[in-house]
Amino acid sequence: VAAEDACGVPDTFGGFVRGKELGRGAFAVVYACERKSDAAKFAAKAVDLRQLRLFVNVGREVKKLRREASVLQQLPPHPNLVKFVDVIQEGHWLFFLLELVDRGNLLQAIVRRPPGRTGRLKFRESEACHVFRQLVDGLKVLHSKGIVHRDLKLENVLVVRERSVGPDLLLDVKIADFGLSKVVGEGVSEARSTVGSPRYMAPEVIAKGSHDFRADLWSLGVLAHVLLDGRFPCDGASAKVPQERLDEAIGRLPVGRDAQDVVRGLLQLEPPRRLTILQLCGHPWLTGGGRGSTDKR
Ligand code: ADP
Ligand code: MG
């Protein structure tokens, strides 16, 4: 019998040795791991198939997961997307092998950012713009391949590096946790909805559970607000307040007009009114790099 940790996750799987825990989410624990043959390092997201059995037919589910995984494996490499490497089954555990991004997630990065540098706010406008533009770039590729993220939030953005450029402390980031939630998430949707964060959910997702590309754009709007203000647009789910209240909150953002315009364009309760990803890419806030604003921070 192979050795295992407190959760019962085996110490080795395929040709890999499991290392320390990197984080956990609704249905998975993520570990660092090393390939025995060449000591190359990866992250491995472990999913307990027995947990899925509560909800679904596991054989069918694993087949679906593998199909979904092959879509992810074929994604072209992109600097703002965590690379999906492989899927390995070991007993009743599934390991999704991922590129290792070991500087934590964006929530942790914000929490540990030096206080006082920019007052209450954690990011200067140009720093927020730098992160936001990378999220847009990554999301554009996902959407162009037919993948809806469904769970964009600070915890699902990983930090590659932090570097000083003039007065800015810039974070290079990658989007994580995409593609698999569609399949695994269906099996654990009940469990997931109780732990997932409704604060990022689009109104149509809360109302009908319908997830299309535009739901990701809403979440992106919530993220932009958090980056620019250090706070959510309102208490609880932004999707549950009237448009006028959202617009008021956005109008109070301590940023330039272009940045406000982006947040307002994304936080539209009605999906057809939201900015599209292509409109975002061409928006002056992104093409101008968050400069030319009222940024005195
Ligand atoms: P879940 O689907 O359960 O939310 P995630 O994929 O979001 O799982 O991973 C949970 C946490 O594990 C992340 O917030 C992050 O801190 C860490 N993590 C996930 N993927 C990686 C990775 N490739 N490299 C390093 N850490 C990761
Ligand atoms: Mg996650």
- Can you tell me the ipTM of this complex? 0.98
246 contacts 211 by C-beta, under 8 angstroms: no
Q: How far apart are CA 245 and CA 234, in angstroms?
A: 9
CA of 45 to the centre of ligand 2 (A): 10
Using a 10 angstrom Cβ sphere, with 0-12 exposed, 13-18 middle and 19 or more buried, the burial of residue 249 is buried
User: What percent of the chain has pLDDT above 90?
Assistant: 64
Give catalytic residues, as residue numbers: 151
Q: At residue 189, does pLDDT exceed 50?
A: no
Q: At residue 209, does pLDDT exceed 60?
A: yes
Going by alpha carbons, the residue nearest to atom 23 of ligand 1 is: 100
Residue 44: the pLDDT is 97
Q: Of 225, 222, 214, 231, give the one whose Cα is nearest residue 260.
A: 225
Minimum-distance ligand 1 atom for the alpha carbon of 82: 23
Asked if residue 82 has its Cβ within 6 Å of ligand 1, the reply is: yes
Residue 190: the pLDDT is 40
Provide the mean pLDDT of the chain: 87
Asked if residue 217 has its Cβ within 6 Å of ligand 1, the reply is: no
State pLDDT tens for residues 44-88: 999 888 877 655 677 777 777 788 788 899 999 999 999 999 999
